[in-house]
Amino acid sequence: MFNRAVSRLSRKRPPSDIHGSDGSSSSSQQNPKSTAKWAASLENLLEDPEGVKRFREFLKKEFSEENVLFWLACEDFKKTQDKKQMQEKAKEIYMTFLSSKASSQVNVEGQSRLNEKILEEPHPLMFQKLQDQIFNLMKYDSYSRFLKSDLFLKHKQTEEEEGDPPNAQTAAKRASRIYNT
């Protein structure tokens, strides 16, 4: 259930919109200069499904993908209305990320204070403090490294090459040529 939620959150568009029929990335479907938005803030990056995908790839290489997965799971959890479904998701988040036996344990302060008893009466903001800790960890640590990573820089370069065809002239170049003749 959790994996479906993360998958749904990190891929708001159907796979056919992200990948062409040959399986390659389809840049014509992407928002131009998305890397500029990603570089502006972590919030912008996390709002863009392609940005989340690239950030997850980076975090996998750094062995800290659980941070963004936890953040995404908490975002999904906050939108849950049904009490029973909220209990199930709360337990899943706890068992996956916060329990001492968690398969993808995140490193948060006060982890021991959040015990299984709180899972019986869940509320949408019950993980907020822990989610904020993980967000800040990503923002001040992983995110800055991501912006300097080959993965990000190559994606940025590809975007720039696609946006500026070799024969295209900027208005400044055209004006310069006109006035200097």
pLDDT attached to residue 25: 42
- Residue 25 DSSP SS3: strand
d(CA 32, CA 159): 7
CB atoms within 10 A of CB 50: 22
Judge contact between 76 and 69, C-beta under 8 A.
no
CA-to-CA distance for 105 and 65, rounded, in angstroms?
A: 10
The one-letter amino acid at 176: S
pLDDT score, position 179: 52
Among candidates 146, 79, 176, 66, which has minimal Cα distance to 111? 66
Q: What does the pLDDT read at residue 70? A: 97
pLDDT at site 63: 94
> Would you give the DSSP letter of residue 110?
T
Give me the CATH topology for the region 34-159: Regulator of G-protein Signalling 4; domain 2 (1.10.167)
19 in helix, strand or coil? strand
CA distance 30 to 116: 42
What per-residue confidence (pLDDT) applies to 162? 84
Number of other residues whose CB lies within 10 A of the CB of residue 100: 7
Amino acid, single-letter form, for residue 173: K
| pLDDT digits (tens), the chain, 181 positions | 444 444 444 433 333 333 333 344 433 344 458 899 999 999 999 999 999 999 999 999 999 999 999 999 999 999 999 999 999 999 999 999 998 889 899 988 865 456 677 888 899 999 999 999 999 999 999 999 999 999 999 999 999 888 754 444 555 555 445 555 4
State the greatest distance between any 2 C-alpha atoms of the chain, in Å, as a whole number. Answer: 79
